[in-house]
Amino acid sequence: MVTISVCLGSACHLKGANAVLETFLALIDRYQAQANVQMAGSFCQGRCTEGVVVQIDDLLLTNVTKDQVFELFTKYVLNGDKE
């Protein structure tokens, strides 16, 4: 089980956090990955200038755009990468 948390603070929201979250949700649906991934939203992570901030298990990622979500999903959910 992978936990993916998207920052839903106002700065990340302005930078497209909703689109990032929705893209993850659409991929989970498309790949029927509900049993392998848990999605969450988080409050501000204190890295507002580097949004969108996404946490995948213990890994904190910054400057995430919706165009990167497929790559992240493939790496961490489908392939089960831990780094």
Q: Where does this chain bind ligand FES (CB under 6 A)?
A: 7, 9-12, 44-48, 51, 53
The rounded distance, in Å, linking the Cα atoms of 2 and 58 is 10
> Nearer Cβ to ligand FES, position 12 or 37?
12
CA neighbor of 52 nearest in space, from 16, 10, 2: 16
User: Min. distance of Cβ 35 from ligand FES in angstroms?
Assistant: 28
Structure tokens at 42: 């988080």
User: Min. distance of Cβ 19 from ligand FES in angstroms?
Assistant: 14
> Nearer Cβ to ligand FES, position 33 or 39?
39
The distance from CA 57 to its chain's CA centroid, rounded to whole angstroms, is: 10
User: Min. distance of Cβ 46 from ligand FES in angstroms?
Assistant: 6
Structure tokens at 48: 């507002």
